[in-house]
Amino acid sequence: MFENLNFIIVIIFVLIHLFSQLTSKKLTTSILMSFAAGVGIAYIIFNLFPQLGHFQLVVDNTFNSNNFIVTNLVYIVIMLGFMVSHVIHKIDDELYEKYCETDLEKAERSHFWSDMTFNIFYNIIIGYIIVSKEFGSSLQVISFFIAFGLHFLMNDWGLRIHHGKRHDNIGRFILAGSMLLGGLIGLFTDLPEIYVVLFESYIIGALMLNVVKYELPDDHESSLRGLIFGVIIASIFFLLS
């Protein structure tokens, strides 16, 4: 039952990537962006953090070792997800600043494909996780959908701001296709649970970075009411689910 529901979530995420440009820019920048950040914070605290103990138990049972790395592998992978994502974006921004003065077109094109490459792997992993993950209930599936649906909406908005027509003409189809590919891989393959756990741990780290650094707006762009409303509503829903 949940496997079919999970794949439906993948299809909805594909549609979000394809049609997120229809979202009002004013709503996105002022209210929805702050609301999404609030939902993301609540989801990480109430849904993702409580799963870490189970994730580490899967690792311990798989490797059956008291090695320091093994006993902390989940947290190490989360940190890697956070740091690798940050370093990639940092290097990408620095290279763009370096080359935009001499060849703006080339710099923008390289920046676009760098962002696309990162997001392709990110989407494939998430698409795979959605289909492969065993959710405890349909409410947990809905919680995942709400948190990541808003995350993708904000991520697509940011890519559109940075890349303009390149994203509308090419990028959104690449993102939709990579999400669908990840879902299909999850539908037709059955990897051991340890792989799903490590994939999801990496995504948790990357999601934490995105929420803190990219989705939480600057003071002059944020809506405090949107942030608080997102945190409160999402916290209540996630606790009840």
Domain holding 184, by residue range, is 2-18+25-240
- What is the residue-level pLDDT of the chain in tens, covering all 241 positions? 455 678 889 999 999 999 887 765 555 566 777 888 889 899 999 988 998 999 999 999 999 888 999 999 999 999 999 999 999 888 888 888 877 878 878 888 888 998 999 999 999 999 999 888 777 677 777 888 888 998 898 888 888 888 889 999 999 999 999 999 999 999 899 889 999 999 999 999 998 888 777 556 565 556 778 888 999 999 998 888 7
Measured between alpha carbons, how far is 86 from 163 in angstroms, rounded to an integer? 19
Rg (CA), the chain: 18
Q: Note the Cα 33 to chain centre separation in Å.
A: 14
pTM over 0.85: yes
Measured between alpha carbons, how far is 109 from 112 in angstroms, rounded to an integer? 5
End-to-end CA distance of the chain: 18
Measured between alpha carbons, how far is 69 from 27 in angstroms, rounded to an integer? 45
Contact between 197 and 58 (Cβ < 8 Å): yes
Q: Which long-range contacts (CB under 8 A, 24 or more apart) does 11-16 make?
A: 11/180, 11/183, 12/145, 12/149, 13/126, 13/127, 13/130, 13/148, 13/149, 13/152, 13/179, 14/176, 14/179, 14/180, 15/176, 16/149, 16/152, 16/153, 16/156
Sign of CA dihedral 175, 158, 205, 39: negative
Q: What are phi and psi of 192, to 5 degrees?
A: -55, 155
Pick the closest to residue 193 from 129, 119, 114 (CA basis). Answer: 129
Q: Which two tokens stand for residue 55?
A: 């994730």
Q: Note the Cα 63 to chain centre separation in Å.
A: 28
Counting the structural domains of the chain, the total is: 1
